[in-house]
């Protein structure tokens, strides 16, 4: 089965951890998806703000990466993930993509990498994720799971991309057990 890496995040205040645990549990019961591993959690400064802007901690995100295997096509997987986001209360507000990115999210699930496939369907799906190599909140947890995995377009490993990263937004490990999804 193809190996896929998913980025999960929530900035729903005090319920962020609950939403991540719920997303993990719901991923685990989706037919045609098998969870392989999950990274530790990271608390991350909102990417849509300037680094060090002093944003209230309740607006920070919790992020992780989950490795799965699936028989679903990239498009079918995307539909399943969007349905899961909606089941967890995600609402996509009107406005520009920039305004939508800054909106609070109960759950955001992105397909980061789907094996070594390169896919581009405008306004729908881009694989690998277009901003994967620019965001510390994605690269750090991805490096926990697959540091030697090569980006299929940039031909650099995740470790190399992390070392080259210029993103200055703060990304802090959350002091929870490695298997954070089993507690609570």
Write out the DSSP string of 19-79.
Answer: HHHHHHHHHHTSTTEEEEEEPPPEEE--TTS-TT----GGGSEEEEEEEEEESS-HHHHHH
From the number of C-beta atoms within 10 Å of its C-beta (0-12, 13-18, 19+), residue 155 rates as exposed
Residue 121 has pLDDT above 60, yes or no: yes
In this predicted structure, what is the pLDDT of residue 14?
82
Look up the CATH number of the domain holding residue 166: 3.30.70.560
At 50, the pLDDT band (50, 70, 90 cuts) reads: low
Q: Indicate the number of domains in the chain.
A: 1
At 56, the pLDDT band (50, 70, 90 cuts) reads: low
**Which DSSP state fits 149?**
P
The structure tokens listed for 47 are 């990417």
In this predicted structure, what is the pLDDT of residue 90?
78
Residue 99 has pLDDT above 70, yes or no: no
Q: List the domain range (segments joined by +) for residue 106.
A: 3-182
Instruction: Give the mean pLDDT of 19-32.
Output: 95
For residue 63, how many C-alpha atoms fall within 13 Å in the half-sphere facing its CB? 24
In this predicted structure, what is the pLDDT of residue 47?
76
Which range (12-16, 49-53, 126-130, 139-143) has the least confidence?
49-53
**What SS3 state is found at 132?**
helix
Residue 104 has pLDDT above 80, yes or no: no
At 81, the pLDDT band (50, 70, 90 cuts) reads: very high
Please give the helix or strand (H or E) that residue 162 lies within, else none.
Answer: helix 158-164
């Amino acid at each position: 089965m193809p190996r896929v890496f998913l980025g999960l995040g929530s900035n729903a205040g005090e319920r962020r951890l609950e939403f991540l645990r719920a997303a993990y549990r719901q991923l685990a019961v989706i037919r045609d998806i098998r969870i392989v591993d999950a990274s530790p959690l990271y608390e991350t400064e909102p990417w849509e703000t300037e680094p060090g802007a002093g944003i209230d901690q309740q607006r920070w995100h919790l992020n992780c990466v989950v490795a799965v295997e699936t028989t679903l096509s990239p498009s079918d997987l995307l539909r399943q993930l969007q349905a899961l986001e909606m089941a967890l209360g995600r609402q996509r507000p009107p406005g520009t993509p920039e305004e939508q990115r800054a909106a609070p999210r109960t759950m955001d699930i992105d397909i980061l990498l789907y094996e070594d496939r390169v896919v581009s369907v405008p306004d729908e799906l881009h694989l690998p994720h277009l901003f994967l190599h620019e965001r510390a909140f994605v690269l750090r947890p991805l490096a926990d799971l697959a540091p030697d995995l090569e980006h299929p377009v940039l031909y650099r490993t995740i470790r190399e991309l992390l070392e080259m990263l210029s993103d200055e937004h703060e990304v802090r490990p959350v002091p929870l057990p490695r298997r954070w999804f089993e507690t609570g």
